[in-house]
Amino acid sequence: MSAPRDRLIVALDVPNVDEAKALIDRLGDSVGVYKIGLELLFSGGFALAQDLARQGHSVFVDAKLLDIEATVERATAVIAASGAAFLTVHALDRKTIAAAVRGRGDSRLKLLGVTVLTNLSRADLAEHGIDEAPLAVVQRRAMMARDGGFDGVIASGQEARALRERLRQILIVTPGIRPAGADTQDQARVMTPSAAIKAGADYLVVGRPITRAADPRAAAEAIVAEIAASLPK
Ligand code: C5P
């Protein structure tokens, strides 16, 4: 598959485009993919995504789409036309999945399903009318996403291992990564880069351990080195 560096996705969780650009300047070519989430998307981040894609960067639009089919299809088509490499869509039902796949058309956009947000417990799922353990729901939705034509799913490190045992061919993108000894901040269940790769993750999403480091580039390079050392030879 891709080089170790291409497996590192940096979350540009900053409030505006100027801060994002300053961070990108510092990171240079030390990371493979830049992730733009809701905060930055609504403060000029989509234009930044288009610029970065034009400059040849790999961009992850973390829009977590969910709406009626026509809207999901058309929004996906606009994002695909931006040159983005990855887009998140809630993988809740076959209609939504099919709409995103139609919207992608023959572009190179990779569709990633959000199965169960990791902040949701079994009690929260009960509020959705679901009486199942989160992992069972994650597995069912991941299979539905794969069968519907998605490329991968977002999954915590713990879920990655269980998913990888059942779904060999799907891309697994894992957030909640903390190098050994790093501050966990608000992440409840974290994994080191090495443990996540060994659990079956293809890509790691890393935010604050890089973006808030005194030397973001050095922090990114250390994670890439850890990824490289953990990949099967
Ligand atoms: O700073 P940190 O490394 O915790 O950032 C992780 C990134 O991954 C954030 O952009 C966050 O929104 C995203 N994410 C997550 N947990 C999920 C899904 C996405 O932390 N389950």
Q: Which pLDDT tens digits describe the chain residue by residue (233 residues)?
A: 679 999 999 999 999 999 999 999 999 989 999 999 999 999 999 999 999 999 999 999 999 999 999 999 999 999 999 999 999 999 999 999 999 999 999 999 999 999 999 888 899 999 999 999 999 999 999 999 999 999 999 999 989 999 999 998 899 999 999 998 888 888 777 899 999 999 999 999 999 999 999 999 999 999 999 999 999 87
Q: Please give the structure tokens belonging to residue 157.
A: 């490190």
Is 147 in a helix, a strand, or coil?
Answer: helix
Q: Please give the structure tokens belonging to residue 183.
A: 């501050």
pTM of the full predicted structure? Answer: 0.96
Residues with CB under 6 A from ligand 1: 11, 13, 37, 117-118, 154, 156, 175-176, 185, 187, 205-209
Closest approach atom of ligand 1 to CA 13: 10
Residue 112, beta-bridge partner list? 88, 152
Residues 27-84 have pLDDT tens digits of 998 999 999 999 999 999 999 999 999 999 999 999 999 999 999 999 999 999 999 9
How far is ligand 1, taken at its centre, from the CA of residue 119, in Å? 11
Please state the φ and ψ torsions of residue 60, each to the nearest 5 degrees: -115, 110
Where does residue 109 rank: exposed (0-12), middle (13-18), buried (19+ CB within 10 A)?
buried
Domains of the chain: 4-230 (3.20.20.70)
How far is ligand 1, taken at its centre, from the CA of residue 204, in Å? 10
Neighbours of 180 (CB within 10 A): 9
Report the chain's terminal Cα–Cα distance, integer Å: 12
